[in-house]
Amino acid sequence: MSQAAVRGELGGKYEPPHNTQFSVFLDNRVGKLHALVKIFEGREPHIAALCVVDSADHAVVRLVTSKADLARSLLERHGMAFSETDILVVELNTEHTLSKLCQLLLSAELNIQYAYPLMFLPHGNTAIALQTDDLTLTAHILLKKLYTLLGENDLGSNATPSDGGPNI
């Protein structure tokens, strides 16, 4: 669901546009990341965002894809250990900057747990994957300030043709 679908009332049981982040657990060995991204190469779902958190023994690869159900099936089929969590994907531009986003969340006393960029530009704008203390409140605040929140339908081959990608 894109922002157009959620611009209505934000009261009651509002849920932000749906995005699933997969945290894939890999042994910290040469070639493991390559094996993971090969699973998604040349087919749906596309990897829209990727972040690697490395330690001595293992790595956690955070992935956002264009189709969570297909990604889940692929990861299971290939025996990958993973967990899932909901995140927001927020579009940024000259008017709606990262600095302003941080200020809004600071004013609301919301902590940003982590953030990382998307690998392509949906609608021609930069976008970030974002995890906070309260995703629903974060989404409500950002929508009130006219930030664009993207759902999984806005990523990958579902995105508008002017986005330049992804063919990752």
Residue 157: pLDDT band (50, 70, 90) is low
Residue 160: pLDDT band (50, 70, 90) is low
35-89: pLDDT as tens digits: 999 999 988 899 999 999 988 889 999 999 999 999 999 999 999 999 999 999 9
Please give the Cα distance from 139 to 125 (Å, whole number).
18
Q: What is the DSSP string of 82-135?
A: EEEEE-EEEE--SSS-HHHHHHHHHHTT--EEEEEEBSS-GGGS-EEEEEES-H
| All domains of the chain in start order, with CATH | 20-86 (3.30.2130.10), 87-157 (3.30.2130.10)
Average of pLDDT values for 126-136?
Answer: 95
Residue 158: pLDDT band (50, 70, 90) is low
Residue 167 has pLDDT above 80, yes or no: no
Residue 166 has pLDDT above 90, yes or no: no
Residue 14 has pLDDT above 80, yes or no: no
